[in-house]
Amino acid sequence: MERGRRIQAGMSGPGGVKGLGMLAWLETRRSRRVFEDEPVPKEVLERLVQAAITAPSNTNRQPWRFTVVTAEDKRKRIAAAVRARAEEIEAIIHRGHHAEDFASYGDFFHEPLESAAAIVVPQWRDYPDLIADLITSGGGDPSLYHTARSMQAELCSTSAAVMAMLLQAHAEGLGACWMAGPMIAKPEIEALLGIREPYRMVGAVAIGYPAGEAPPPGRKPIDRVVQWVEE
């Protein structure tokens, strides 16, 4: 079917999910930071990983791994390590003139980890840059070309996988929050979970059945984020 007709028919997804319906559903996803005290069944967590690995990746390298932490003791240790680092940073910032600026960020680092039923630590790894190696083998200088390395394609692929996981969580009635904050305790978390090179954590995802409300944080209007090139 040619492009115009396909759009007219609104055939964009399985199970009768059409373009506008999909968009409306996507708009209902929120980052959730407070969770009920209720475990998430393992088969549901498995589906989240299944969803993650549907993501596209550069030359299908699938450069990701996911550590899924449900053990209470380990979850508490992760949250405590992040809190300790956040307090350390807060103490440093308090010595300067921006203590108030940091105040609203304090919880940002660890709050979702405190009540999460599961903490997923996504990881990514680099692979040799095939095209750069081929250029080198031909006597060329790969730094003159923007190959996959220049866009950190493996990290991009892993980010796509995390987004698929967040959407599956939403579809399962779960709440989730992908967080950069836990990176402040990267050495502690990697040691606790046995994450080592070549894998590197890319934040952490707090997951659980959501409690309370999460008002939409809003979005920039699309005319501020899109550049149309039509002629």
Ligand X SMILES: Cc1cc2nc3c(=O)[nH]c(=O)nc-3n(C[C@H](O)[C@H](O)[C@H](O)COP(=O)(O)O)c2cc1C
Pick between residue 64 and residue 129 the one whose CB is nearest to ligand X. Answer: 64
> How far, in Å, CA of 109 to CA of 104, rounded?
10
Output the CA angle 194-164-115, nearest 5 degrees. 60
For residue 159, which of 178, 144, 134, 177 has the smallest C-alpha distance?
178
Contacts with ligand X, 147-186, as mask; x by CB under 6 A = ------------------------------xxxxx-----
> How far, in Å, CA of 213 to CA of 19, rounded?
27
In the complex, which residue's CB is closest to ligand X? 181
Asked whether position 221 contacts ligand X by CB under 6 A, the answer is no
Structure tokens at 151: 């866009």
Asked whether position 125 contacts ligand X by CB under 6 A, the answer is no
Structure tokens at 21: 């319906």
Asked whether position 124 contacts ligand X by CB under 6 A, the answer is no
Asked whether position 215 contacts ligand X by CB under 6 A, the answer is no
Pick between residue 105 and residue 145 the one whose CB is nearest to ligand X. Answer: 105
How many residues bind to ligand X according to rule CB under 6 A? Answer: 12
Asked whether position 33 contacts ligand X by CB under 6 A, the answer is yes
> How far, in Å, CA of 231 to CA of 208, rounded?
47
Asked whether position 203 contacts ligand X by CB under 6 A, the answer is yes
Q: Where in 51-110 is the site for ligand X (CB under 6 A)?
A: 108
Query: Binding ligand X by CB under 6 A: which of 10, 12, 25, 31?
Result: 31
Q: What are the CA-CA distances from residue 121 to residues 116, 144, 212, 224 (Å)?
A: 13, 35, 24, 33
Strand partners, 67: 121
Helix (H/G/I), strand (E/B), else coil: 159: helix
Pick between residue 178 and residue 199 the one whose CB is nearest to ligand X. Answer: 178
Asked whether position 30 contacts ligand X by CB under 6 A, the answer is yes
* In contact, 165 and 201? CB cutoff 8 Å: no
Applying CB under 6 A, the residues found at the interface with ligand X are: 30-31, 33, 108, 112, 177-181, 203, 217
